[in-house]
Amino acid sequence: GSNYGPLHIFFFPFMAHGHMIPLVDMAKLFAAKGVRTTIITTPLNAPIISKTIEQTKTHQSKEINIQTIKFPNVGVGLPEGCEHSDSVLSTDLFPIFLKATTLMQEPFEQLLLHQRPNCVVADWFFPWTTDSAAKFGIPRLVFHGISFFSLCATKIMSLYKPYNNTCSDSELFVIPNFPGEIKMTRLQVGNFHTKDNVGHNSFWNEAEESEERSYGVVVNSFYELEKDYADHYRNVHGRKAWLCNRNKEEKIFRGNEASIDEHECLKWLDTQTTNSVVYVCFGSAVKFSDSQLLEIAMGLEASGQQFIWVVRKSIQEKGEKWLPEGFEKRMEGKGLIIRGWAPQVLILEHEAIGAFVTHCGWNSTLEAVSAGVPMITWPVGAEQFFNEKLVIEVLKIGVPVGVKKWSYSGVDCCAKWDVVEKAVKMVFAKEELEGMRKRAKVLAQMARRAVEEGGSSDSNLDVLIQELGTLSSLSR
Ligand code: UDP
């Protein structure tokens, strides 16, 4: 778009890893195309983002700036230093956290006034940004952080409530007006598509309404992965949508400081044979109970498979019972427990990794697809049960653990050790795996091609940049 003068775009991610990581990646894609990008965040989140940007270490880093807005946490009853959903320790506080984000509107508008960007790409959790942008005649794009498959399924659930036509919570129904004859139960749908989900009654309606009025949406995905659903979203739901997925060649620091020396972790993987290790991680937000962790440990041991298991727990305290007696001693050399944050993309892309036990968060799912790794699906909440359907029934690159019930944050114990053992054994069983692995590798190749010059995501990005350029030259 050099005909239109340099574009300047604001990116405003919601302060949660699953939102910040992909939106910062997206900002980098725009920067690589010569677009000036500014990431808006709060003071405590700025260092995380600047570290991510620094590690890109290319010419494009200078096209990316960070602007901070003070986060009014203490004034609204949040603890000091609470600027990230990670530090919202109880689910009751989440609505308060959301409310605090709305207080960023005024300083955000000051930034718009002074910098006059050509476009605002803001998270779905910030519905007020559509109005802010409109005040300055700037288009706002929405970023949800979820797949087209889940965007469509969520819309359909809230429109038609198809689970109301079943006799019980566990009876299967077909998702209506949706490609692929996908069946689900009421228990799996949970509350994701309802206003109960955020515990803030007016918020959901406001976000939906704001999305309707926005210029369109950007989705972290690639066309070949969920073609039918991307088409469906654009044609049936009539939304303008662009696909932008990150270039997987960028093996960089993501989100947090890793809790393990990356080299040590990769060196350990180097000692393992190809496709032999199962990687177990449930994203950034799921917090399992000790009893569930215990079952996972027992299941992994019983499977006999080598593993890397990421547990969001610090050093095991005395009397804490989430590991069987003598587990770590017995598993020496066989398994690696990472307490805290794992360098997930590096791990997934190592050739020793043969399968991924995942909660089906969209970022993790897409990272597994891009790395060509088959999945053992263990959805917990949010839109993860939809992603499971995509992985198992549409892409056919996984084995389900068989979780039956959606939950807000995954505190219940829902899979016993023998179920874990069985799923791990199944994914590594030869015939099962060969077909799945082949399909996963094909998808990984498609993911790579999509972001290469002239690939589907790359061209889509060009189209969007072109369009924004035209828009801003018209409004000048
Ligand atoms: N992640 C990571 N190390 C961890 C846990 C998570 O790098 O120990 C990253 C992961 O690669 C992904 C993101 O954090 O990019 C998690 O996003 P996802 O959508 O999978 O799940 P969420 O955390 O939003 O539930």
284 lines ligand 1 (CB under 6 A): yes
293 lines ligand 1 (CB under 6 A): no
Give per-residue pLDDT as tens, 398-442.
Answer: 999 999 999 876 667 789 999 999 999 999 987 677 799 999 999
Look at ligand 1, atom 23, and give the residue with the nearest C-alpha. Answer: 284
Distance from Cα 338 to the centre of ligand 1, integer Å: 14
21 lines ligand 1 (CB under 6 A): yes
Distance from Cα 197 to the centre of ligand 1, integer Å: 20
Catalytic residue among 8, 19, 84, 232: 19
Question: Residue 254 CA: which ligand 1 atom is closest?
Answer: 7
Q: Is residue 57 pLDDT above 70, yes or no?
A: no
123 annotated active-site: yes
364 lines ligand 1 (CB under 6 A): yes
Q: How confident is the model at residue 247 (pLDDT cuts 50, 70, 90)?
A: low
255 lines ligand 1 (CB under 6 A): yes
How many C-beta atoms surround the C-beta of residue 3 within 10 A?
8
Q: Is residue 321 pLDDT above 70, yes or no?
A: yes
387 lines ligand 1 (CB under 6 A): no
Distance from Cα 359 to the centre of ligand 1, integer Å: 10
Q: What is the pLDDT of residue 367?
A: 95
Q: What is the pLDDT of residue 1?
A: 40
Look at ligand 1, atom 11, and give the residue with the nearest C-alpha. Answer: 344
SS (H, E, C) the chain: CHHHCCCEEEEECCCCHHHHHHHHHHHHHHHHCCCEEEEEECCCCHHHHHHHHHCCCCHHHHHEEEEECCCCHHHHCCCCCCCCHHHCCCHHHHHHHHHHHHCCHHHHHHHHHHHCCCEEEEECCCCHHHHHHHHCCCCEEEECCCCHHHHHHHHHHHHHCHHHHCCCCCCCEECCCCCCCCEECHHHHCCCCCHHHHCCHHHHHHHHHHHHHCCEEEECCCHHHCHHHHHHHHHCCCCCEEECCCCCCCCCCCCCCCCCCHHHHHHHHHCCCCCCEEEEECCCCCCCCHHHHHHHHHHHHHHCCEEEEEECCCCCCCCCCCCCCCHHHHCCCCEEEEECCCCHHHHHCCCCEEEEEECCCHHHHHHHHHHCCCEEECCCCCCHHHHHHHHHHHCCCEEECCCCCCCCCCCCCCCCHHHHHHHHHHHHCHHHHHHHHHHHHHHHHHHHHHHCCCCHHHHHHHHHHHHHHHHHHHHC
Q: What is the pLDDT of residue 195?
A: 58
Question: Residue 367 CA: which ligand 1 atom is closest?
Answer: 11
Distance from Cα 284 to the centre of ligand 1, integer Å: 5
Question: Residue 358 CA: which ligand 1 atom is closest?
Answer: 20
Q: Is residue 391 pLDDT above 50, yes or no?
A: yes
Q: What is the pLDDT of residue 5?
A: 63
Q: What is the pLDDT of residue 88?
A: 83
Which is nearest to 58 in space by CA: 17, 29, 24, 38? 29
Comparing 232-246, 296-310, 389-403, the range with the smallest average pLDDT is: 232-246
- Tell me the angle at which helices 430-451 and 417-428 cross, rounded to the nearest 10 degrees: 70
Q: What is the pLDDT of residue 413?
A: 73
Look at ligand 1, atom 10, and give the residue with the nearest C-alpha. Answer: 364
Distance from Cα 267 to the centre of ligand 1, integer Å: 22
178 lines ligand 1 (CB under 6 A): no
How many C-beta atoms surround the C-beta of residue 435 within 10 A?
12
Q: Is residue 250 pLDDT above 70, yes or no?
A: no
Q: What is the pLDDT of residue 409?
A: 67
Give the distance from CA 221 to its chain's centroid: 11
335 lines ligand 1 (CB under 6 A): no
252 lines ligand 1 (CB under 6 A): no
Question: Residue 259 CA: which ligand 1 atom is closest?
Answer: 8
**Are 140 and 147 contacting, i.e. CB atoms less than 8 angstroms apart?**
no
Catalytic residue among 8, 17, 25, 123: 123
Pocket test for ligand 1, best of 248, 344, 387 (most atoms within 8 A of CB): 344
360 lines ligand 1 (CB under 6 A): no
Distance from Cα 17 to the centre of ligand 1, integer Å: 7
Share of the chain above pLDDT 90, in %: 73
Q: What is the pLDDT of residue 2?
A: 46
Share of the chain above pLDDT 70, in %: 91
Pocket test for ligand 1, best of 14, 17, 338 (most atoms within 8 A of CB): 17
Q: What is the pLDDT of residue 239?
A: 86
17 lines ligand 1 (CB under 6 A): yes
18 lines ligand 1 (CB under 6 A): yes
Q: Is residue 31 pLDDT above 50, yes or no?
A: yes
Which is nearest to 20 in space by CA: 308, 338, 246? 246
Q: Which residue would you say has higher pLDDT here, 176 or 474? A: 176
Q: What is the pLDDT of residue 414?
A: 83
Q: What is the DSSP letter of 65?
A: E
363 lines ligand 1 (CB under 6 A): yes
Q: Is residue 324 pLDDT above 90, yes or no?
A: yes
Q: What is the mean pLDDT of residues 18-39?
A: 93
Instruction: Using alpha carbons, list the distances in angstroms from residue 472 to 8, 142, 150, 217, 456.
Output: 10, 18, 31, 18, 24
Pocket test for ligand 1, best of 94, 221, 364, 386 (most atoms within 8 A of CB): 364
Give per-residue pLDDT as tens, 149-164.
Answer: 999 999 999 899 999 9
Which is nearest to 335 in space by CA: 311, 358, 315? 311
Question: Residue 312 CA: which ligand 1 atom is closest?
Answer: 8
Q: Which residue would you say has higher pLDDT here, 314 or 177? A: 177
Backbone CA torsion sign across 314, 319, 324, 326: positive
User: Both tokens of residue 354?
Assistant: 């043969």
Give dist(CA 45, CA 330) in Å, integer: 39
Give per-residue pLDDT as tens, 176-217.
Answer: 999 999 999 999 998 877 655 555 557 888 999 999 999 999
228 annotated active-site: no
Comparing 45-54, 170-179, 346-355, 389-398, the range with the smallest average pLDDT is: 45-54
